[in-house]
Amino acid sequence: MNPHPLNPLTKYEEDVCIWGGVIGVGLSVTSLIQHIAVARFFWLTYMMLGFYFIIIIAFILVAIRHVAGSVMIIVSAALSMANEIILKNHKVFSMIVLLLALYSVVLAVYLFNEKIPARLKEKRRLEMEEEERWRGKI
């Protein structure tokens, strides 16, 4: 266990969140740059740009170990799959978008399998209790 009493996450779980988020941001930004460089812009590609920004935010939330990150990573997996389906329907193949979709799904499954969202909620609850305990004393 982590020696800090307000953090129920182990060092390994923290590293998984941090590096999982950093790698996800890297894949997302690469997909975004590829999309901007290659895509012809019309309403569907503008919508896909919005998806990429939401996916980037989701991975940032995972990297900073925010409680909403675990829910957002599921949204990220759905949006990245939607981007892959849209590209496939327009007869476009992008390995980086496929990797992003698979990575999002794998990370979401891993986080929930290891019960990291529950530990993040516990961490937030402990921080709120500590904050409430010190309110008005300083």
Q: How far apart are CA 30 and CA 65, in angstroms?
A: 22
> How would residue 92 be classed by pLDDT, with cut points 50, 70 and 90?
confident
- CB atoms under 10 Å from CB of 26, counted, come to 14
Query: Would you list the domain boundaries of the chain?
Result: 11-134
Torsion of the alpha carbons at 44, 48, 54 and 57, rounded to the nearest 10: -150
Q: Is the pLDDT of residue 134 over 70?
A: yes
Please answer whether residues 27 and 107 qualify as being in contact, where contact means their C-beta atoms are separated by less than 8 angstroms: no
CB 75 within 8 A of CB 58: yes
Among 12-21, 76-85, 97-106, the minimum mean pLDDT is found in 12-21
pTM of the entire structure?
0.86
| CA 43/CA 13 separation, integer angstroms | 40
- Which pLDDT does position 23 carry in this prediction? 95
Q: Which of 102, 124, 112, 96 is nearest to 36 (CA)?
A: 96
Sign of CA dihedral 11, 17, 21, 24: positive
